[in-house]
Amino acid sequence: MKILVRLAFITSLGWLLAACQSDSVLRLYEGPELPDSALLTVRAPEQLELLAINGQHLSQGSTLFSSGQELKLTPGEYRIEAYYKELWTTNVDSHYTYRSDPVTFTVDGEAGEIYLLAYETPANAAEAERLAEDFSGWSENIATGERRATTGSNLQRPTLLGTLTSGSATPSPAPATAIAPAGSSTPPRAPVAVSDNESGAESGYLDMLKAYWSQANSDERRAFLRWIAE
């Protein structure tokens, strides 16, 4: 198993590094690229794992290699399902990962507006643990400072254990390439189909590697890359 994981990482590392810049900005609308003045921009920190927007699935590991994520959307209302995840290092040998249940961030913005998905940032591991146990946050209009509190979500948080122990990837909806505002009569563009081979064991290993990487601190990432280079 370790050999397979190592080989999968070596073959996919180039793809992951090439995607690191583009993955931080998601253009979720149809047609040619538009200026920010015509779009609604939503920014999320790397500690928020985005699951779905208006009921449409988003790919996992979307914050990999980035300090956050920026969504480019057509103006309107969006319900963004996300959960909190953060790895804390208490000393050289102790690392703890805290994850919350998903919540719903609601954004209703106009063209040119920027919203931030935020929460009370914990100062230490104990605060992070309490935050994960009962997570809440808000969406904030950067220009006006107006905030809207999160609400509950019906989604289930993906389990890391299930990803790491499964022999193949668990089937999941193809990630959305365009998302329409709530109540819009314009359907989003259909997502690109994924073949059976692409959605099988290879993508399962890639998801596993993304999960490992997203939870590692900078020292662990450097050590892992040195191990790959051996």
User: How many angstroms separate the CA atoms of 17 and 21, rounded?
Assistant: 8
71 burial level (CB within 10 Å; 0-12, 13-18, 19+):
buried
Q: What is the DSSP string of 14-65?
A: HHHHHHTTGGGEEE-SSSS---GGGSEEEEEETTEEEEEETTEE--TTTTTT
Domain ranges of the chain: 22-162+173-197
The pLDDT, as a whole number, for residue 197 is 44
23 φ/ψ angles, rounded to the nearest 5 degrees: -70, -20
The pLDDT, as a whole number, for residue 179 is 87
Sequence-ordered list of residues with C-beta below 8 angstroms from that of 44, at least 6 positions apart, any chain: 50, 63, 68, 69, 70, 71, 80, 82, 116, 117
User: How many angstroms separate the CA atoms of 53 and 194, rounded?
Assistant: 20
The pLDDT, as a whole number, for residue 156 is 85
Token pair 């953060």: residue: 86
User: How many angstroms separate the CA atoms of 54 and 81, rounded?
Assistant: 8
The pLDDT, as a whole number, for residue 169 is 42
The pLDDT, as a whole number, for residue 97 is 86
The pLDDT, as a whole number, for residue 185 is 56
Per the CB < 8 A criterion, the answer to whether 83 and 109 are in contact is no
Q: What is the pLDDT along the chain (230 residues), one digit of tens a residue?
A: 444 445 444 444 444 444 444 458 889 998 899 999 999 999 999 899 999 999 898 865 444 445 679 999 999 999 999 999 988 877 656 778 889 999 999 999 999 999 999 999 999 989 999 999 999 999 999 999 999 999 999 888 876 554 444 443 444 555 567 888 987 655 444 333 333 444 444 454 555 566 666 666 666 666 666 666 55
Per the CB < 8 A criterion, the answer to whether 150 and 79 are in contact is no
User: How many angstroms separate the CA atoms of 69 and 63, rounded?
Assistant: 6
The pLDDT, as a whole number, for residue 186 is 52
